[in-house]
Amino acid sequence: MGNDFLSKGFYDAPIDFSLDLFSEIEKLKKEKNAIILAHYYQDADIQDVADYIGDSLGLSQQAAKTEADIIVFAGVHFMAETAKILCPNKKVILPDLRAGCSLADSCPADKFAEFKKQYPDHLVISYINCTAALKTLTDIVCTSTNAVQIVESLPKDQKIIFAPDKNLGAYIKKKTGRDMILWDGACMVHEIFSLEKIIKLKTQHPGAQLLAHPECEAALLEVADYIGSTTGILNFATKSEAKEFIVATEAGIIHQMQKNNPGKVFIPAPPNNSCACNDCPHMKLNTLEKLYNCLKYEQPEIILEADLIEKAKKPILRMLDLSAKMGL
Ligand code: 13P
Ligand code: SF4
């Protein structure tokens, strides 16, 4: 059995290394009626064992409709928490409970509650990359897929606070012309790209298209050929006539891009230093071994109070309803 796993936040039981983890995970999934939902930023082997791989919107839609008894969420804490909020009667487990998010951490709910008091007549739209506590202070949740459409669906004179990502917020302001109040938060991965190195790379690869996630800074988005969610980026690259792409988002997405487009070349956008900083350190805490243990021992589990679930669920359901009406 694992030692001290709860204090460490992951199930570290020793593994028999002669096991083929891929087939063991398949067996456990069937035995337990479990489903593995994985974000594109997960390691390639986790993506290969997943039942569904997607962006934040797709993953919440899948969680909301699954008939599995157990959801193994291969992603970060706020994503697994969202699945638990949508499916309170199911067991939701996360391979490493410490897999957080710098963006969610940049907006503590108590500080946001104080901030919100200054704008009593504003509606709060929060990016899904936030804690359940922040969602209880939110009117509508959004993801990078539906943020622009959700803001556009509101009356033109509606006053809005957008939290927690200032870069996505600035992008929505530019696209919609709405004057929103922005919380000053950001993602450590999407702010690390070097515009100078990207421009140099573009001159070395003149046919390459720059694909960027809207969590990137405005100056980078300005020179991008396509801006969208991870699913949007993947679909754009698949449809594009171009043969080379510079990818300004977390590098895990390149696994699916390469699988769907064997003849095309995908270059991770360079960071402004020499580390592998376009790997999200939180996402990468999950490993195939931890995923196997988590499914075997059904630990660590996401546990939330009923009251928190009730309050956080409303803005998420509003997003899912609006997305369904918009055909997203
Ligand atoms: P999407 O999954 O909406 O593309 O967002 C990316 C992200 O940063 C998730 O943490
Ligand atoms: Fe959070 Fe950024 Fe990692 Fe996404 S990539 S989980 S926003 S830290």
Q: Is 144 in the pocket of ligand 1 (CB under 6 A)?
A: yes
Minimal-distance CA residue to ligand 2 atom 6: 101
Residues with CB under 6 A from ligand 2: 76, 101-103, 129, 187-189, 250, 280, 282-283
The C-alpha atoms of residue 95 and residue 299 are separated, in whole angstroms, by 8
Ligand nearest to the CA of 145: 1
Burial class (CB in 10 A: 0-12, 13-18, 19+), 6: exposed
For residue 27, report the distance from its CA to the centre of ligand 2, in Å: 31
CATH code for the domain in which residue 216 is found: 3.40.50.10800
Q: Is 230 in the pocket of ligand 1 (CB under 6 A)?
A: yes
Residues 6+ apart with CB under 8 A from 209: 225, 226, 237, 240, 242, 244, 245, 246
For residue 260, report the distance from its CA to the centre of ligand 2, in Å: 24
The pLDDT of residue 6 is 59
Kindly state whether residues 7 and 92 are assigned to the same domain: yes
DSSP for residue 284: G
Region 236-252: what's the mean pLDDT? 98
- Secondary structure of residue 37 in the 3-state scheme: strand
Kindly state whether residues 78 and 113 are assigned to the same domain: no
206 within domain boundaries: yes
Using the atom order of ligand 1, give the atom closest to the CA of residue 55: 2
Residue 237 has pLDDT above 60, yes or no: yes
Ligand nearest to the CA of 165: 2
For residue 271, report the distance from its CA to the centre of ligand 1, in Å: 18
The pLDDT of residue 272 is 85
Q: Give residue 1's pLDDT band: very low, low, confident or very high (50, 70, 90).
A: very low
Q: How many domains is the chain built from?
A: 3
Using the atom order of ligand 1, give the atom closest to the CA of residue 128: 3
| Buried-exposed string 67-100: b where 16+ CB fall within 10 A, e elsewhere | ebebbbbbbbbbbbbbbbbbbeebbbbbbbbebb
91 within domain boundaries: yes
Using the atom order of ligand 2, give the atom closest to the CA of residue 104: 1
Kindly state whether residues 88 and 27 are assigned to the same domain: yes
Residue 249: alpha-carbon gap to chain centroid:
11
22 within domain boundaries: yes
Question: Contact 79/100 with Cβ under 8 angstroms?
Answer: no
* pTM for the whole structure: 0.96
For residue 282, report the distance from its CA to the centre of ligand 2, in Å: 7
Q: How many CA atoms lie within 13 A of 181 on its CB side?
A: 15
Instruction: Please identify which residue in the block is written with the tokens 């669920």.
Output: 313
Using the atom order of ligand 2, give the atom closest to the CA of residue 76: 6
Q: What would the pLDDT profile of 273-316 be if each residue is shown by its tens digit?
A: 877 678 999 999 999 999 999 999 999 999 999 999 999 999 99
Amino acid at 84: K
Kindly state whether residues 297 and 166 are assigned to the same domain: no
178 within domain boundaries: yes
- The token duo for 98 is 């410490």
Using the atom order of ligand 2, give the atom closest to the CA of residue 190: 2
Kindly state whether residues 109 and 95 are assigned to the same domain: no
276 within domain boundaries: no
Kindly state whether residues 6 and 96 are assigned to the same domain: yes
Q: What would the pLDDT profile of 266-275 be if each residue is shown by its tens digit?
A: 999 998 887 7
The pLDDT of residue 8 is 75
274 within domain boundaries: no
For residue 229, report the distance from its CA to the centre of ligand 1, in Å: 6
Q: Is 270 left (phi over 0), alpha (psi -120 to 50) or beta?
A: beta
Which H or E element spans position 247?
strand 244-248
For residue 156, report the distance from its CA to the centre of ligand 2, in Å: 31
Question: Contact 25/319 with Cβ under 8 angstroms?
Answer: no
Sign of CA dihedral 284, 285, 287, 292: negative
Sign of CA dihedral 34, 133, 142, 286: negative
Q: Is 55 in the pocket of ligand 1 (CB under 6 A)?
A: yes
Per the structure, the complete domain to which residue 30 belongs is given by 2-100+282-303
Residue 134: alpha-carbon gap to chain centroid:
16
78 within domain boundaries: yes
Residue 12 has pLDDT above 60, yes or no: yes
The pLDDT of residue 210 is 98
The C-alpha atoms of residue 119 and residue 320 are separated, in whole angstroms, by 26
Minimal-distance CA residue to ligand 1 atom 2: 55
Kindly state whether residues 144 and 177 are assigned to the same domain: yes
Residues 6+ apart with CB under 8 A from 77: 94, 97, 99, 100, 101, 104, 282, 302
Q: Give residue 251's pLDDT band: very low, low, confident or very high (50, 70, 90).
A: very high
Kindly state whether residues 76 and 216 are assigned to the same domain: no
Q: What would the pLDDT profile of 33-59 be if each residue is shown by its tens digit?
A: 999 999 999 999 999 999 999 999 999
Instruction: Please identify which residue in the block is written with the tokens 């109070």.
Output: 305
164 within domain boundaries: yes
Residue 5 has pLDDT above 70, yes or no: no
The C-alpha atoms of residue 151 and residue 142 are separated, in whole angstroms, by 9
Tell me which of 129, 247, 285 to substitute to probe ligand 2's pocket, judged by most ligand atoms within 8 Å of the beta carbon: 129
Minimal-distance CA residue to ligand 1 atom 7: 56
Kindly state whether residues 91 and 115 are assigned to the same domain: no
Query: Mean pLDDT, the chain, as a whole number?
Result: 95
The pLDDT of residue 2 is 43
Ligand nearest to the CA of 234: 1
Instruction: Please identify which residue in the block is written with the tokens 């991008």.
Output: 224
